[in-house]
Structure 1
């Protein structure tokens, strides 16, 4: 039997509270100066932290308890496999370890209680969908900030205020990391958080619907089937973002087929706002619609019609899908109380989002325009190519690859998209991980109808592929560099069955390429 008198005095009241947490979820008496953060990654444990050892999808955190203790963990909460063990306590290296049944499922609520729910004082906006999450979240944050409201973001590009993002490992952080961010945002007097919510996070209960005041769905297309198995399961995971009650307002893309399927059985208890380029959306009570769309060299313009009124929008962003992202963001702003007549001024202040249809060019007319985009699914690649085509007066080049150890079925599909919409195709690396890069390229080539076509090249070294394509492209051409976007690395095999990251920043590479011509023109 564990003897609580062996505990340090400040732990005596805390351990029973942890042991009883799943029964009584009242706020835990943990947040004081003697404790650090709640952490479930042993690599980030600091002195005084509480380490949560989760049985995860890929790794078992219990294997890292000793490491966490050596790094200064003050208490360990470890997942146990039977309910009978819940609440058992033992000492490891003189550190109390509390067993917790189904800790992976309760960690979100535990973290929320530990940090005393700082998010309750903020407006939380969750964005899910296959494509557009990052762009939409940053558009929301950009417009809210322009409207004098402090909005942080959490997502693929990092967490924090725009322009000062902290890199994170997953699009949606682990429950403990997420609440750490909320706690820090609260100290920064943040009033709004625009957060990407991945299907993985929803499936693994790293985020739950009741967290969000506003929930946005952008679209659904093939991705992550290596994890979800089927499109039906993938859609069900996304659907978990929505609360089905009046405490949350839903924002759905009415142009997307999945939204229409959901609307057939949408709960009457949850209000829903719909956005679209399809004019039929105006039949609904709450709508946002783009009409009279004009795409031009400086971006896009359109008439915005809503149930609250209409205005003209002029945006520096490229492509139809960025209109979709902008409509989603505008819906959120209107829900938050922004007036329709304020929107155009707020949109004009938006800057291109790093690695999302980000255009690079040079005053020299004989040089092509490069567009760096994160597109790494068939649907995203198609949208990016179509957007570039709208602005292209000559040849459209595309440089892309496919990730290793991921859904192999999309490789041939991406090749078919490239062949349909691009004039010149260059196949290269995009995080091959433990797979042979040439075999990935072969899978892509297999999707082409004419594999020996003169307009198709394989250059596995991505830097060389990019530079070579920019050199051969000419006046009026656009070069779409798809897949890396904001990322500043490539993940390759380490030759030992694992992976390694090497530095590679495509945005910097392209910027430096054009910079040399600026230098030459100044000689």
Structure 2
């Protein structure tokens, strides 16, 4: 059990703190225990400061209470012998407090952070796979789960809370992992969840429309992502210099250690410390071959990952591993062993049956790139089954409808995670972007939509199921219903219907 002096923990911000000991940090009043330090701050849905009497009842050691009044910062009082300390801008300091509580574990690890709209999970998992194939132990945090690679526990958020992150880094040290990979979301950056994480390498994949229900516009969304490279602890930066924002940021970061990764524009290398550039790409039915040149030398890698965007993901991952000191020839030799990431362009095919592709694409850019990739590799009749999440960015719905209609031969609009929105309202929003409604079917039940496509398709057709990827539940109203696109597909292909 971690036992830490409150005086030591708060010494950078508050003097004359009573000399007490705390056993744990906690922001959730439902899980408080005796001896905890309860950090009471405003949240998105609930304000933790409304639960201090619950914390007192549970006999926590101390309560840190966020105040908007700078003049009362550091003042403390007691209620029922429970110490309450007022702390100005406490939300911004939680990451630093957690780091001190867990004895600064990040300083003893090499931490890789990946941010961007699309590709975070794939890049993280490629680094994890490649590193593991070459015999190294790696811990990871992200959409697919948290833990030592191949032994993951489900995660609720792309980027976990500040307290959990430093607790996880401490666990990674205990498990003798030397490398940690982490997905970094825009929400996590805005909410200071990784503020005191010392990133050895930060990677940027791309920036396209998403989360505008939270960020309001693209300028604010860009500003959130830029925080990782402008205000956080980062030693080296790897940028997708083909992305419009990546190009701008590369020039803004001239004085930093930057690595540019390109497919289209090798001229970007002049703005970077190191670089990697694809010189030739060959696409096959279920694979891709990439010839490249780089600061580390020339070479060719082969992979069963498909799509133009996965070429970028592979090269970003390759650049990261080269910068970590892995041998180029070893990486080239093992590239064929990398398998598709769960729920990311994951392909399922059987003889004389249609080919299914499951992908997490839930933004306009991701859907377009996914359909582009399918056409590029297969050039066959394409079914596209998708929906949009309820209580999320509504502006993207008609855009995604227009993309699906233009790039598919047949579209089935269905449910994603409708949450508390009316299913038909979400579908009508998507449909408003479509012109040729004759090629579009509406089947709200997701499983029935997939069954219909399977029964009506031919063996040489491609059926894309987009939006949910790896997820194993659907959120309908306030209920999590057990459901998996992958299980549905496998049952069909194995005649278990």
- The TM tier, using the shorter chain, reads over 0.9
Q: Which residue of 1 aligns with 2:459?
A: 475
CA distance in 2, matches of 1:337, 1:160: 23
SS of 1:111's equivalent in the other structure is helix
Q: CA deviation at 1:217?
A: 0.4
Change (3 A) 1:503 1:245: closer
CA distance in 2, matches of 1:76, 1:347: 51
Change (3 A) 1:488 1:247: closer
Matches within 5 A, 1:22-421: 22-23=13-14, 35-46=22-33, 48-68=35-55, 73-92=60-79, 94-208=81-195, 211-243=198-230, 248-268=235-255, 270-281=256-267, 283-284=269-270, 285-362=273-350, 364-365=351-352, 367-421=353-407
SS of 2:298's equivalent in the other structure is strand
Aligned partners of 1:375 and 1:485 also within 8 Å: yes
Aligned partners of 1:377 and 1:410 also within 8 Å: yes
Q: CA deviation at 1:462?
A: 1.2
CA distance in 1, matches of 2:423, 2:234: 48
CA distance in 2, matches of 1:218, 1:425: 28
Gaps of at least 5 residues in structure 2 are: none
Q: Deviations over 1:182-215 (max 9, x none)?
A: 1111111111111111111111111238621111
How many residues are treated as equivalent by the alignment?
A: 494
Q: Which residue of 2 aligns with 1:508?
A: 487
Once the two structures are overlaid, the 10-residue window that deviates more, 244-253 or 130-139, is 244-253
CA distance in 2, matches of 1:46, 1:304: 55
Once the two structures are overlaid, the 10-residue window that deviates more, 347-356 or 109-118, is 347-356
Aligned partners of 1:87 and 1:100 also within 8 Å: yes
Q: CA deviation at 1:15?
A: 4.4
SS of 1:485's equivalent in the other structure is coil
Once the two structures are overlaid, the 10-residue window that deviates more, 42-51 or 144-153, is 42-51
Change (3 A) 1:209 1:95: closer
Gaps of at least 5 residues in structure 1 are: 1-9, 494-498
Q: Which residue of 1 aligns with 2:475?
A: 491
Q: Which residue of 1 aligns with 2:425?
A: 439
CA distance in 2, matches of 1:358, 1:265: 36
CA distance in 2, matches of 1:86, 1:80: 7
Change (3 A) 1:423 1:202: same
Aligned partners of 2:96 and 2:196 also within 8 Å: no
CA distance in 2, matches of 1:164, 1:512: 25
TM-score normalised according to structure 1 size: 0.88
Change (3 A) 1:163 1:210: closer
Once the two structures are overlaid, the 10-residue window that deviates more, 461-470 or 282-291, is 282-291
Q: CA deviation at 1:241?
A: 0.9
Change (3 A) 1:412 1:143: same
Runs of 4+ deviating beyond 6 Å: none
Matches within 5 A, 1:415-430: 415-430=401-416
Q: Deviations over 1:389-442 (max 9, x none)?
A: 223353111111111111110000001110111111010111111111100100
